[in-house]
Structure 1
Amino acid sequence: MAHELKQAKAKLVAKILAPAATETEFGHVANNTFKYDYKKQFNQFHTADQMAGFLIALYDSDKTIGEISTKDFSFSLKDGVLPYSDNPLQNQKS
């Protein structure tokens, strides 16, 4: 979708933020507890503020994907990871 929007010179832009463990209220809700401790549950995680920074970096970039590595929790910006046909009409009947 991101490639098709760029090709069409659309004002709308599609991007993906692929986070890893992030310290939010979701841990409390998903585990139905008020005392969910991310430090006890995860070896490593990002804070919501850190994730917001990653989201802003993705938004401000010309990249399509903001990815958090599950190995070392580093953040990287990437172009699309799947090939694009460059012409979505080429495989449609005329």
Structure 2
Amino acid sequence: MHQTCLLVTLPTPQCANRVQQLLHDQAPGCAVLGQPGDCSQAACCRWLQALPLHQAGEVQALLRDAVEVLEQTRHAFKSAQLAQLRKRMMRMLETLSDNTE
């Protein structure tokens, strides 16, 4: 059986230790990882590997397309949830753009 691992980004190792203590009773056997490299399966895990550059570009293009569609249809649907989704996607695009520079 596979061990459950929780990858968290926390400001200090003490925070990771606190999360581990809290999970100990709620989810016995769950490992808290502070870095992707801490996972023994990192080399095999597609979730912990960076996307190839062409795939990262495809993801950005798809996000831009989705944001554009949400922007064009925002008056037709007037949905707060769609507006929040559009804003989250725009922030993600900004983050991805910052990481490629």
Q: Say whether the fold is shared (TM-score over 0.5).
A: no
The structure that is strand-richer by fraction is: 1
* Higher RCO (CA < 8 A, seq sep 6+): 1
Tell me which interval the TM-score lies in, with the shorter structure as reference length. Answer: under 0.3
TM-score normalised per structure 2:
0.24
TM-score normalised per structure 1:
0.26
